[in-house]
Amino acid sequence: MINWLTQQSILISLVCAFILLFHKPLLKQLGAHHMYSLWLAIPLMLLGSVVLQFLPNLLAESKLASFEHYRVLASLAVKNSESLIPAPLVAGLWLSGIAVMTALLLLQQRYLNKLLSKSTPYAHPQSGELNINALMLTDALPILQSPEITSPMLTGVIKPTIIVPSDFHKLTVKQQKAVLEHELFHHERGDIIINLLAYGLLAIFWFNPLCWLAYRRFRDDQELACDAQITSLMNTDEKIAYSHALLAYSQHAQMGMLHTHYGNKNILKERIMQMKKQHGKSTLTIIAMTLGLGLASLILNQQVQAGDHQTSSKESTKLAKSQAHSIHPLTRVEPKYPKEAAEANQNGYVQLKFDISKSGMVSNVKVIKSSPKGVFDKSAVKALKQWVYKKSKKGAKGSKVQLDFVIDEPAANVERIKVTAN
């Protein structure tokens, strides 16, 4: 799991860095709608990784063919055992981060529940309750007002509700209509659920600083896309009026995981400038971009996974013949090179026999043969028990693996761990 997280974190960092670094020219060329769609690259990449990891092996045969892996090198094994943080500790830290993120989400939900309970139906001080139909909006979405907030928001996954500040009546009718249409478009597009999913991904990769920067930029792009939709049919005067509303409410807007935030003052200039550059929203273009990003994600994941199983040129022909029937472990724990063997410059190997369950777990590990006898057995068995294979239809019985313990790096920079099945 840790290996998968590390691999995906690197890939996500590449995508985030690309979008963040080239955001300005991309926004200029693509427009707000298509720029917002670019963020689909991240979930598509993760989905592609899951598909590549698990789907092909659900129908895999129960017997395993030969495997190719790196050698167990003394230099790396000793270095890893002395310098790296133990895997259980890393997993514990990661889960602790997720727990903190989940706690923050629950605290915000508690705050929003309290806010909703204290809010009252929006009513204009002079004309009484606002006629929603007069604003050409659906009456299926409740509009409440609260003195505890400073900018409009949409909240509620199950029961969406728009909440406006108590001074909302100070805006003109056209401004009120534009602001409410902005929040209504968030609702129609399902942004509350999208934001929750985005926060879920952030919680998984909370240790990656680029993910935090990307999450904030994603939320800002969401507001830009809403602005582009609302102002697409506005004339110049109406856009100016809408800009004034943005100016009033973007000064104190707070970003939340479970509600929209109407933007922030840091991108206020960007939002106003975008109103002058209307780009069309083409459904075909968005679909083409989505499919292109999905394909690119699959290819990128394949390249990274291929890098984990490099083989020498001499073995490429043999590997190609057996590739169709090969099943590689998802998690392969490196055996620790015994300190005494490393100090004595001692090489060796261990041949082991084991079973793989349907869920991919290793069991019934037994040593068939080892040389020198008893030197590397314990380390090899302990490591193999922690290996995790891809799920399969029937699992595998009597699989065999040979772990070669080598002091020095081989000339080809590749080792062979051969696994066969009866």
Name, in order, each residue with C-beta under 8 angstroms of 44's C-beta and a sequence gap of 6 or more: 290, 293, 294, 297
Take residue 209 and report the two structure tokens written for it. 């600083």
Q: What is the CA radius of gyration of the chain?
A: 28
Q: What pLDDT score does 67 carry?
A: 42
Q: What pLDDT score does 323 carry?
A: 41
The amino acid occupying position 267 is I
133-160 burial, b at 16+ Cβ within 10 Å, e below that, comes to eebebeeebbbbbbeebbbbbbbbeeeb
Beta strands in 34-95 (DSSP E): 72-73
Name, in order, each residue with C-beta under 8 angstroms of 12's C-beta and a sequence gap of 6 or more: 42, 45, 46, 205, 208, 210, 211
Go through the domains of the chain in sequence order and give each one's CATH number: 59-85+312-420 (3.30.2420.10), 93-281 (no CATH)
CA distance 67 to 309: 9
Q: What pLDDT score does 314 carry?
A: 44
Name, in order, each residue with C-beta under 8 angstroms of 232's C-beta and a sequence gap of 6 or more: 278, 281
pTM of the model: 0.67
Q: What pLDDT score does 234 carry?
A: 84
DSSP string over 95-147: HHHHHHHHHHHHHHHHHHHHHHHH-EE-EETTTEE--GGGGT--TTS-EEEET
| Whether 275 contacts 227, CB under 8 Å | yes
CA distance 127 to 26: 46
Return averaged pLDDT per consecutive 10 residues of the chain, 422 residues in all: 81 91 89 88 84 56 42 53 65 94 95 93 61 52 89 90 89 86 90 95 96 94 89 84 81 75 71 71 62 63 52 41 56 84 84 88 90 89 89 83 77 48 41
CA distance 207 to 347: 38
CA distance 358 to 362: 10
Q: What pLDDT score does 281 carry?
A: 59
Q: What pLDDT score does 420 carry?
A: 42
Q: What pLDDT score does 109 carry?
A: 94
* Phi–psi pair at 400, nearest 5 degrees: -130, 140
Question: Per residue in 223-276, pLDDT tens?
Answer: 999 988 888 888 888 888 888 888 877 766 667 888 887 666 677 778 877 777
Please tell me whether residue 284 adopts helix, strand or coil conformation: helix
Q: What pLDDT score does 253 carry?
A: 63
How far is CA 71 from each of CA 117, 121, 294, 340, 372, rounded to the nearest angstrom? 63, 69, 34, 19, 17
Q: What pLDDT score does 422 carry?
A: 42
* Phi–psi pair at 13, nearest 5 degrees: -60, -40
Write down the residue that tokens 């917002």 correspond to. Answer: 36
Q: How many CB atoms lie within 10 A of CB 45?
A: 21
**Omega before 88 within 30 of 0, i.e. cis:** no
Q: What pLDDT score does 255 carry?
A: 72
Please tell me whether residue 405 adopts helix, strand or coil conformation: strand
